[in-house]
Amino acid sequence: MFLRTLCISSALAIAKINAASWGYEESNGPATWPDPLCQTGTAQSPIDLTHNTTYVDNWLPFALSHYEKRPRHMFVSNNGHTATVTLEVEGSNENLPKVTQGNLPGIYELAQFHFHWGWYHNRGSEHEIHGRRSAAELHFVHYNIRCGRTLGDALANCGNDPEALAVLGVMIEEGDENEAFDDLLHALHLVEVSGAQAHFKPLILRDLMPYDLNEFWRYQGSLTTPGNIGGNDCAELVVWTVFKNKITLSRHQLEKFFQLKTAEGTDRKSTV
Protein backbone atom coordinates (compact mmCIF):
# COMPACT_ATOMS: atom_id res chain seq x y z
CA MET A 1 0.00 0.00 0.00
CA PHE A 2 1.03 3.60 -0.46
CA LEU A 3 1.93 5.62 2.64
CA ARG A 4 1.60 9.32 2.05
CA THR A 5 4.20 11.32 3.97
CA LEU A 6 5.05 15.00 4.07
CA CYS A 7 8.86 15.21 4.31
CA ILE A 8 10.57 18.34 5.59
CA SER A 9 13.88 19.54 7.05
CA SER A 10 14.26 21.25 10.42
CA ALA A 11 14.72 24.96 11.05
CA LEU A 12 13.72 27.23 14.02
CA ALA A 13 16.11 27.49 16.95
CA ILE A 14 14.62 27.55 20.43
CA ALA A 15 16.31 27.51 23.80
CA LYS A 16 16.34 26.99 27.52
CA ILE A 17 15.99 28.70 30.86
CA ASN A 18 15.76 27.35 34.39
CA ALA A 19 12.91 24.82 34.49
CA ALA A 20 11.13 26.72 37.25
CA SER A 21 11.11 30.08 35.47
CA TRP A 22 11.17 29.60 31.70
CA GLY A 23 8.10 30.51 29.73
CA TYR A 24 6.83 32.22 26.62
CA GLU A 25 6.46 35.82 27.76
CA GLU A 26 8.88 38.55 26.69
CA SER A 27 10.72 38.35 30.01
CA ASN A 28 11.33 34.58 29.97
CA GLY A 29 10.62 33.46 26.41
CA PRO A 30 12.83 31.83 23.81
CA ALA A 31 15.01 34.93 23.29
CA THR A 32 16.16 34.62 26.93
CA TRP A 33 16.95 30.88 26.93
CA PRO A 34 20.78 30.60 27.16
CA ASP A 35 21.49 26.96 26.24
CA PRO A 36 23.97 27.19 23.29
CA LEU A 37 22.49 24.14 21.55
CA CYS A 38 19.12 25.86 21.41
CA GLN A 39 20.73 28.78 19.61
CA THR A 40 23.15 26.89 17.35
CA GLY A 41 21.65 23.43 16.87
CA THR A 42 21.01 22.18 13.36
CA ALA A 43 17.91 20.09 14.14
CA GLN A 44 15.83 22.27 16.43
CA SER A 45 12.06 22.05 16.91
CA PRO A 46 9.35 23.20 16.40
CA ILE A 47 9.34 24.14 12.73
CA ASP A 48 7.03 25.34 9.98
CA LEU A 49 5.88 22.30 7.99
CA THR A 50 5.84 23.53 4.43
CA HIS A 51 7.18 21.00 1.93
CA ASN A 52 5.11 19.12 -0.62
CA THR A 53 3.76 15.63 -0.08
CA THR A 54 6.08 12.74 -0.95
CA TYR A 55 4.53 9.38 -1.75
CA VAL A 56 6.45 6.38 -0.40
CA ASP A 57 5.48 2.84 -1.37
CA ASN A 58 7.70 0.82 0.96
CA TRP A 59 6.62 2.00 4.40
CA LEU A 60 4.32 -0.06 6.56
CA PRO A 61 1.54 1.87 8.32
CA PHE A 62 1.87 2.69 12.01
CA ALA A 63 1.25 -0.25 14.35
CA LEU A 64 -0.15 0.94 17.68
CA SER A 65 -0.04 -1.68 20.41
CA HIS A 66 -2.23 -1.31 23.54
CA TYR A 67 -3.47 2.08 22.32
CA GLU A 68 -7.01 0.69 22.16
CA LYS A 69 -7.01 -0.66 25.72
CA ARG A 70 -7.83 1.37 28.81
CA PRO A 71 -4.84 1.38 31.18
CA ARG A 72 -5.31 0.53 34.83
CA HIS A 73 -4.75 4.11 36.03
CA MET A 74 -4.29 7.53 34.44
CA PHE A 75 -2.92 10.64 36.13
CA VAL A 76 -2.86 14.27 35.04
CA SER A 77 -0.38 16.75 36.52
CA ASN A 78 0.29 20.47 36.22
CA ASN A 79 4.03 21.20 36.14
CA GLY A 80 3.50 24.95 35.84
CA HIS A 81 3.87 24.85 32.06
CA THR A 82 1.46 22.25 30.71
CA ALA A 83 -0.94 19.42 31.52
CA THR A 84 0.89 16.08 31.38
CA VAL A 85 -0.78 12.66 31.47
CA THR A 86 0.95 9.47 32.63
CA LEU A 87 -0.47 5.99 33.09
CA GLU A 88 -0.09 2.65 34.83
CA VAL A 89 -0.94 -0.66 33.17
CA GLU A 90 -1.77 -4.11 34.44
CA GLY A 91 1.23 -6.42 34.61
CA SER A 92 4.64 -5.67 33.08
CA ASN A 93 6.04 -3.07 30.73
CA GLU A 94 5.06 -5.33 27.87
CA ASN A 95 1.52 -3.99 28.33
CA LEU A 96 2.55 -0.35 27.93
CA PRO A 97 1.35 1.37 24.74
CA LYS A 98 3.91 1.09 21.93
CA VAL A 99 4.29 2.34 18.38
CA THR A 100 6.23 0.68 15.59
CA GLN A 101 6.44 0.82 11.79
CA GLY A 102 5.47 4.07 10.05
CA ASN A 103 9.16 4.11 9.08
CA LEU A 104 10.16 4.64 12.70
CA PRO A 105 13.66 3.31 13.44
CA GLY A 106 12.68 1.05 16.32
CA ILE A 107 10.07 0.09 18.88
CA TYR A 108 8.92 3.05 20.96
CA GLU A 109 7.09 2.90 24.30
CA LEU A 110 4.78 5.64 25.56
CA ALA A 111 6.08 7.70 28.48
CA GLN A 112 3.47 10.48 28.63
CA PHE A 113 1.40 12.89 26.61
CA HIS A 114 0.94 16.62 27.05
CA PHE A 115 -0.63 19.66 25.44
CA HIS A 116 0.28 23.07 24.03
CA TRP A 117 -2.45 25.68 23.76
CA GLY A 118 -3.06 29.38 23.21
CA TRP A 119 -5.08 31.98 25.07
CA TYR A 120 -8.56 32.68 23.68
CA HIS A 121 -8.04 33.88 20.10
CA ASN A 122 -4.27 33.22 20.01
CA ARG A 123 -3.47 29.89 18.36
CA GLY A 124 -1.33 27.63 20.53
CA SER A 125 0.22 24.80 18.53
CA GLU A 126 4.01 24.60 18.57
CA HIS A 127 4.35 23.56 14.94
CA GLU A 128 3.03 25.56 12.03
CA ILE A 129 1.66 24.20 8.77
CA HIS A 130 2.40 26.53 5.87
CA GLY A 131 2.88 29.37 8.36
CA ARG A 132 -0.38 28.76 10.24
CA ARG A 133 -0.74 27.51 13.80
CA SER A 134 -3.60 25.36 15.06
CA ALA A 135 -5.57 26.12 18.22
CA ALA A 136 -3.58 23.54 20.21
CA GLU A 137 -1.25 20.58 19.82
CA LEU A 138 -1.07 17.20 21.53
CA HIS A 139 2.26 15.35 21.90
CA PHE A 140 2.60 11.63 22.62
CA VAL A 141 6.16 11.18 23.91
CA HIS A 142 7.80 7.76 23.40
CA TYR A 143 11.28 6.37 24.13
CA ASN A 144 13.19 3.78 22.11
CA ILE A 145 13.17 0.53 24.08
CA ARG A 146 16.71 -0.35 22.93
CA CYS A 147 17.78 2.62 25.09
CA GLY A 148 15.87 1.51 28.21
CA ARG A 149 12.46 0.66 29.56
CA THR A 150 11.76 4.03 31.18
CA LEU A 151 12.08 7.55 29.85
CA GLY A 152 14.81 8.32 32.38
CA ASP A 153 16.85 5.27 31.43
CA ALA A 154 16.45 5.99 27.73
CA LEU A 155 17.71 9.54 28.13
CA ALA A 156 20.59 8.43 30.35
CA ASN A 157 21.68 5.69 27.96
CA CYS A 158 20.99 7.46 24.64
CA GLY A 159 21.24 11.15 25.49
CA ASN A 160 23.03 11.91 22.20
CA ASP A 161 21.17 9.45 20.01
CA PRO A 162 18.92 11.12 17.39
CA GLU A 163 16.61 8.09 17.56
CA ALA A 164 16.21 8.06 21.36
CA LEU A 165 12.68 9.50 21.38
CA ALA A 166 9.72 9.54 19.03
CA VAL A 167 6.97 12.12 19.43
CA LEU A 168 3.62 11.82 17.67
CA GLY A 169 2.09 15.26 17.22
CA VAL A 170 -1.64 15.82 16.75
CA MET A 171 -2.93 19.22 15.68
CA ILE A 172 -6.14 20.40 17.40
CA GLU A 173 -8.59 22.87 15.87
CA GLU A 174 -11.55 24.58 17.50
CA GLY A 175 -14.68 22.85 16.26
CA ASP A 176 -17.02 20.09 17.32
CA GLU A 177 -16.96 18.84 20.88
CA ASN A 178 -14.81 15.73 21.35
CA GLU A 179 -16.22 13.42 24.00
CA ALA A 180 -13.07 11.28 24.05
CA PHE A 181 -11.35 14.02 26.08
CA ASP A 182 -14.16 14.70 28.57
CA ASP A 183 -12.88 12.77 31.59
CA LEU A 184 -9.42 14.30 31.27
CA LEU A 185 -10.71 17.84 30.79
CA HIS A 186 -13.10 17.50 33.72
CA ALA A 187 -10.12 16.58 35.93
CA LEU A 188 -8.13 19.73 35.12
CA HIS A 189 -9.80 21.70 37.90
CA LEU A 190 -8.16 19.27 40.31
CA VAL A 191 -4.68 20.31 39.15
CA GLU A 192 -5.20 24.06 38.88
CA VAL A 193 -2.18 24.69 41.14
CA SER A 194 1.31 24.04 39.78
CA GLY A 195 2.68 20.76 41.16
CA ALA A 196 -0.73 19.15 41.63
CA GLN A 197 -1.58 15.67 40.35
CA ALA A 198 -4.91 13.83 40.14
CA HIS A 199 -6.19 10.55 38.79
CA PHE A 200 -9.14 10.30 36.42
CA LYS A 201 -11.06 7.63 34.56
CA PRO A 202 -8.65 6.07 32.04
CA LEU A 203 -9.13 6.95 28.38
CA ILE A 204 -8.61 4.93 25.24
CA LEU A 205 -5.54 6.57 23.72
CA ARG A 206 -6.41 5.73 20.13
CA ASP A 207 -9.60 7.79 20.50
CA LEU A 208 -7.46 10.91 21.04
CA MET A 209 -5.87 10.62 17.59
CA PRO A 210 -7.13 11.25 14.06
CA TYR A 211 -8.82 8.25 12.45
CA ASP A 212 -6.43 8.31 9.50
CA LEU A 213 -2.73 8.28 10.46
CA ASN A 214 -1.36 7.55 6.99
CA GLU A 215 -0.40 11.13 6.10
CA PHE A 216 2.16 12.95 8.18
CA TRP A 217 5.23 15.12 8.31
CA ARG A 218 8.42 13.42 9.48
CA TYR A 219 11.68 15.11 10.47
CA GLN A 220 14.62 14.78 12.84
CA GLY A 221 14.32 17.39 15.57
CA SER A 222 14.67 18.26 19.24
CA LEU A 223 12.89 18.64 22.54
CA THR A 224 10.88 21.86 22.76
CA THR A 225 10.21 22.31 26.48
CA PRO A 226 13.32 23.14 28.55
CA GLY A 227 13.77 20.80 31.50
CA ASN A 228 10.31 19.32 30.96
CA ILE A 229 11.46 15.92 29.65
CA GLY A 230 14.38 14.53 31.59
CA GLY A 231 16.18 17.87 31.84
CA ASN A 232 17.73 17.45 28.40
CA ASP A 233 16.53 20.88 27.27
CA CYS A 234 16.97 21.28 23.50
CA ALA A 235 18.67 17.93 22.85
CA GLU A 236 18.33 16.83 19.23
CA LEU A 237 17.17 13.29 19.89
CA VAL A 238 13.56 13.26 18.64
CA VAL A 239 12.08 11.56 15.60
CA TRP A 240 9.11 13.86 14.99
CA THR A 241 5.85 12.80 13.38
CA VAL A 242 3.11 15.41 12.94
CA PHE A 243 -0.09 14.05 11.46
CA LYS A 244 -1.71 15.89 8.59
CA ASN A 245 -5.23 15.03 9.75
CA LYS A 246 -6.41 16.96 12.79
CA ILE A 247 -8.86 16.53 15.64
CA THR A 248 -11.21 19.08 17.18
CA LEU A 249 -12.10 20.36 20.62
CA SER A 250 -14.93 22.80 21.24
CA ARG A 251 -14.25 26.33 22.48
CA HIS A 252 -15.63 25.29 25.88
CA GLN A 253 -13.25 22.31 25.98
CA LEU A 254 -10.21 24.38 24.99
CA GLU A 255 -10.99 26.87 27.73
CA LYS A 256 -10.68 24.10 30.32
CA PHE A 257 -6.90 24.44 29.97
CA PHE A 258 -7.12 28.06 31.10
CA GLN A 259 -7.78 26.83 34.67
CA LEU A 260 -4.13 25.83 35.08
CA LYS A 261 -1.78 28.16 36.93
CA THR A 262 1.95 28.70 36.51
CA ALA A 263 4.51 28.05 39.25
CA GLU A 264 4.15 31.74 40.12
CA GLY A 265 0.36 31.35 40.55
CA THR A 266 -0.56 33.35 37.44
CA ASP A 267 -2.80 32.23 34.59
CA ARG A 268 -1.16 29.80 32.15
CA LYS A 269 -2.02 32.01 29.17
CA SER A 270 0.00 30.16 26.56
CA THR A 271 2.30 27.17 26.15
CA VAL A 272 4.04 28.44 23.02
Instruction: Determine the residue type at 153.
Output: D
Specify whether the CB–CB gap between 261 and 194 falls below 8 A.
Answer: yes
251 vs 253: CA distance, rounded Å = 5
Specify whether the CB–CB gap between 173 and 245 falls below 8 A.
Answer: no
| Catalytic residue, candidates 51, 73, 81, 186 | 81
Classify residue 55 as exposed, middle or buried by CB count within 10 Å of its CB (0-12, 13-18, 19+). exposed
Compute the C-alpha angle 12/171/211, nearest 5°: 140
Strands 83-88 and 108-117 turn out to be antiparallel
Let me know if 81 is a catalytic residue.
yes
Residue 227 backbone dihedrals phi, psi, to 5 degrees: 70, 0
> DSSP label at 206?
G
Catalytic positions = 81
